[in-house]
Amino acid sequence: MADDCLFCNMVSGHIPVDKLHDDDLCFAIRDINPRAPTHLLIVSKEHIPTIRDLTEEHGDLLARMVTVANKLADEEGIGDSGYRLTFNCGDEGGQTIYHIHLHLLGGRQLGAEG
């Protein structure tokens, strides 16, 4: 855990947050700067700076994050209409918090990115 990491401080409880999902591997919250009508973040509880730092040992974590995203998409009413799952990696990839998190975006027709 990194003391100066926003998400680590959420995991530890130092920063209170309204969680949509919480389990032993990850939690989910609404993005404070949504880029779509539905914009959720599925956040690893383990401090892993970028997806480039993942190893095969993180397979269960990644599977859980995607499974949680699929469940939340259904709960948000966008499961059937479609949604986007995105990891940002590095500065040029748009990553602003260096603690892996999966973006779930939907609720409207999404355009091409990049």
- pLDDT-based confidence at residue 2 (cuts at 50, 70, 90): confident
In the predicted structure, residue 114 carries a pLDDT above the cut 70: no
Summarize pLDDT for 53-77 with one digit per residue, the tens.
999 999 999 999 999 999 999 999 9
Catalytic residue among 14, 58, 99, 101: 101
Summarize pLDDT for 8-27 with one digit per residue, the tens.
999 999 999 999 999 999 99
One CATH from 3.30.428.10, 3.40.50.720, 3.30.70.100, 3.40.50.2000 for 6-100: 3.30.428.10
**In this prediction, what percent of the chain has a pLDDT beyond 70?**
98
CA distance linking residue 8 with residue 46, whole number of Å:
8
Pairing of strands 21-22, 26-30: antiparallel
- 21 among known catalytic residues: no
- Choose among 33, 35, 15: nearest CA to 105: 35
